[in-house]
Amino acid sequence: MTDRVIVGMIGGSFGVKGEVRLKSFCADPMAIADYTPLYTEHGDSIAQVVLTGQLKGGFTARLSGVVTKEDADALRNVALYAERAAMPSLPDDEYYYADLIGLAVLDTGGSKLGQVKSVVDHGAGALLELHVPGQSDTVLLPFTQAAVPTVDLAAGRIIADPPAGLFASDD
C-alpha cells in the first residue's frame, strides 16, 4: 500500500439498491470520485465512484461492482485508497500522511526521538504516533508548526521541538 494514499472510508449501505455511505478524506471532499480506480485494503479495485447525494459528514455514492444492499453492507468500514501518482502535488508545507510514516524523528539537537508509526487525526489536529526506541508504548507528538518545525522528506527525517515532559528523558 506504500504507493497508495487513503482517500476515504465506506460507511455501509444507504437504502436497498446498492448505494453506500462514503466519507471523503480529501481536501476537496468531492474530488474522491476523480481519483479512480480506488482500492480497498484487500486490494480489490473500484473502477468508478459516482456521488449521488450529500449526507452529514459525507456522501451517498454508487460504486462499480456494488449492486445490492448486501454488497454495500459487506464494505462497511472499508478504507479506500488511490494511487499516489493520481494525487495532486502539494505545496512545500503540506504532506500526505502516508509520506510521513517511517520517517526518523530527531530533536533540535539531533538526538533521535523515534520513528513515525502512524498519523492520527480525530478532527482537533493531527498527531504523529512515534515508536520510541526502548519503550513499548508509543508517544503522540502534536503535528503543529511549533512542535514539528521541519519535515525533510528528501532526507527522510522530521525535526521536532516536543512539548516539555512528552518524552520520559525530559527533565
Distance between CA atoms of residues 90 and 61, nearest Å: 27
Distance between CA atoms of residues 57 and 105, nearest Å: 33
Looking at residue 67, its pLDDT comes to 94
pLDDT confidence band for 171 (50 / 70 / 90): very low
How high does pLDDT run on average in the chain? 90
Looking at residue 68, its pLDDT comes to 95
* Phi-psi map region of 130: left, alpha, beta (phi>0 left; psi -120 to 50 alpha): beta
Could you report the per-residue pLDDT of 53-110, keeping only the tens digit for each?
A: 999 989 999 999 999 999 999 999 999 999 988 888 888 888 888 889 999 999 999 9
| Cross-strand partners of 80 | 8, 40
Looking at residue 98, its pLDDT comes to 82
Looking at residue 1, its pLDDT comes to 44
Residue 2, pLDDT above cutoff 70: no
DSSP 171: -
Q: Give me the domains of the chain, ranges plus CATH numbers.
A: 4-86 (2.40.30.60), 97-160 (2.30.30.240)
- Which is more confident, 122 or 89? 89
Looking at residue 36, its pLDDT comes to 94
Residue 169, pLDDT above cutoff 70: no
